[in-house]
Amino acid sequence: MNSASTKCGQLLIDVDNKATVNQRRLIFLDTETTGLSRERDRICEVAAIEVNHNLEVVGQFHTYINPRRNIPYFVTRIHGLTNQFLSDKPVFSSIAPDLAKFLEGAELYAHNMPFDSSFLNSEFKRNGFPQLEELDCSLHCTCMMAKKLINNSSYSLNALLDFFRIDRSNRKLHGALIDTELLVELYKKMISIQNQLDQNR
């Protein structure tokens, strides 16, 4: 686990009276799981990257998790995580306190937020921890954001990375950390378009 930042306050207070007064923390996240059912399946990797108001990375949380579930072969083919690799990794209950502290009070962005948030909420609830909304997090989906900004035949992460000509050569398989890193780059492109649209109104 890499928890480079553990800021957990709801707001950033700007003592120098600059433009970041009361700006909520901005965090991008992704999960990998053993399957698609939040009741039967479990999270086996989670990554969260915090950026500042200039969209510069200021913190990171990443860990693999022992899901205590067998990962079907067809799922391993998607993210490359095997039962053997995850067997000595921490269980979710042991990483939940640090993860909750890292996410608390933040604006959260994921490319399929309904999926990621439902799995995180299920894991938190199952282990006796507050869910994302109870942690004062607000949830945003970059896939829905893209659909409002551009016309494209597909809104998958790969398709949008190609649309914006973002290098994805290191993304051989799905992976929570690499996908989150690329999502930050995608967000930079989309927020630039959004700012241009706002200026032209």
Active site residues: 174
At which residue do the structure tokens 């890292």 appear? 102
42/39 Cα distance (integer angstroms) = 8
Residue 22: phi and psi, rounded to 5, are 60, 25
Contact 183, 142 (CB under 8 A): yes
Q: Work out whether strand 107-110 and strand 26-33 pair parallel, antiparallel, or are unpaired.
A: parallel
Question: Quick check: 69 and 41 in contact, CB under 8 A?
Answer: yes
CB of 136 within 8 A of CB of 159?
no
Q: For residue 65, give the DSSP letter.
A: -
* Inter-residue contact 119 to 43 (CB < 8 Å): yes
To the nearest 10°, report the CA torsion of 153, 117, 9, 136: 110
Q: Which amino acid is at 171?
A: R
Q: Which amino acid belongs to residue 7?
A: K
